[in-house]
Amino acid sequence: MPKFLRSLIHHCLDYMRQKKLSRNQLFIKQFLGETKVSLCDVGGRGGIEPRWADYHQHLDVTFFEPDKRSRDFLINIGHKTVDKGVWSCNDNRTLFLTSSPGCTSLFKPRQQYLDLFPDPKRFEIVDEVEIETTTLDEVFVAPHSYDFLKLDIQGAELEAIKGGQESLKTALGIELEIEFKSIYQNQPLFGDVKKSLENSGFHFIDFTNICRWERTAHDGLGESVFGDAIFLRYPEEIVCQYNADLLAMDTLKSYAFILFLYKRHDLLLALDDLVPNKIKSQFNLSALLKELASQRQSLIRTGRLFNTLTSAMTPGSRAHIIY
C-alpha cells in the first residue's frame, strides 16, 4: 500500500475516533455533572491508562509508586503519588529493580523460565532497594475510599488485595494484571487472585488483555503468560445497596460510568432496568446505552469478519475480540 494512502487512512480513522470521543465526552459530562470518580492506581508508572485518560477531568486519581524512576515521572506530570509499595501489611521489603522499570517487582524474577523466551534481559536485576510498604486499608480509611482499583504490580496483586479488605467493601470494580505462568518466584497466579476477589464479592467479567509469548519472538502468538482482567460488582448488588440507603447517587453514577468505560452494555442495560423509577429523571442512561449498543454491533460485526478471514487464511484458528 502506498505511503500516502496509509497516511490518509490513518488520518481518516483518527478523525472518526476523535469525533466519537468528543460526543462521548459530552454524554459523560452531562451524566456525571459534578460527580468525581475516585481511581486508585497502584503501579501505573506511565500515568492514567488511555481508557480512563479520555475522561480525566471527571477523575480523582491516587497513584502508588515506590520505584523512584517511575514516581518522578508521575510527580512531574502533576499526579498525586504515594511513595510506598502496597502489600498485605506495613513492612519493609526488598524491591527488585529490573533493567526495564515495567518488570520491577517485590518478587524476584524467575529467570529460568524467562530465559526460554526472547529478551529476558529486561528482567535482569540491576539493584535491590529496601522500601516501606503500606496497605490500601491504611491509606484509605472510611469515608475516604476509591470507586475503582487498578493493580499492576508484577505478581504482588494478591498481597495488595489482602491488605485492602475493608476499603474494597465500597469499591465498585477492579482491573488488575494477572499471570497464568510464574514469571516471578513464588507468585500467585490467576486462579488464586480470582478466588480471593470472588470471596470479597466481585465477579470475574472478562480479560481486557492477554499476552502470549513464543520461544522465537514476541509477536502475539504462543503460550498465554499474563494479561489483565476486570472484576465488577453486579448491578443487582449495587441497586440493592442504593435502595437500602447504603450508596449515594454519586456512587451509582460512578458505577454506570465504569460500565460505560468498559463497554459492558448488558450490565448497563440491567442497571437501567433495576434503578427505581423515581430517580430516572436524574439518572438517565439513554445516551450511554445508545452509544454502547452501537459499539456492541460494531464489535459483533468486526468479530465475525475477522473470524471469517482467520478461518479462511489459517484453518482451525479463531479470532477473539478483546475490549
Helix, strand, or coil here: 299? helix
Q: Domain range spanning residue 76?
A: 36-232
In a domain, 255, yes or no: no
Angle (CA) 192 195 239, round 5°: 145
User: CATH number for the domain including 208?
Assistant: 3.40.50.150
Q: Which three cell numbers stand for residue 34?
A: 459534578
Q: What proportion of the chain, given as a percentage, has pLDDT over 90?
A: 87
State the Cα–Cα distance between residues 315 and 213, nearest whole angstrom.
21
Give yes or no for residue 8 having a pLDDT over 80. no
Please report where in the chains the cell 439518572 appears, as a residue.
283
92-129 pLDDT, tens digit per residue, is: 999 999 999 999 999 999 999 999 999 999 999 999 99
In a domain, 318, yes or no: no
Residue among 38, 70, 57, 61 nearest 258 (CA): 38
Residue 49 neighbours by CB distance under 10 Å: 16
DSSP structure string for 214-245: -SS--SS-SEEEEEEEEEE--HHHHHHHHHTT
Residue 73 neighbours by CB distance under 10 Å: 17
In a domain, 7, yes or no: no
Res. 1 pLDDT band, cuts 50 70 90: low
In a domain, 182, yes or no: yes
Beta strands at 59-64 and 148-151: parallel, antiparallel or unpaired = unpaired
In a domain, 307, yes or no: no
**What's the total number of domains in the chain?**
1
Res. 143 pLDDT band, cuts 50 70 90: confident
In a domain, 212, yes or no: yes
Res. 4 pLDDT band, cuts 50 70 90: confident
Give yes or no for residue 288 having a pLDDT over 90. yes
In a domain, 198, yes or no: yes
Helix, strand, or coil here: 38? strand
Please report where in the chains the cell 469525533 appears, as a residue.
19
Helix, strand, or coil here: 177? strand
State the Cα–Cα distance between residues 58 and 164, nearest whole angstrom.
24
State the Cα–Cα distance between residues 228 and 117, nearest whole angstrom.
20
pLDDT at 15: 81
In a domain, 323, yes or no: no
Mean pLDDT of 285-309: 95
Res. 49 pLDDT band, cuts 50 70 90: very high
Helix, strand, or coil here: 194? helix
Alpha-carbon distances, residue 203 vs 213, 232, 251, 282 (angstroms): 28, 5, 18, 28
CB-CB contact of 148 with 173 (8 Å): yes
User: What value does the mean pLDDT of the chain take?
Assistant: 94
pLDDT at 11: 80
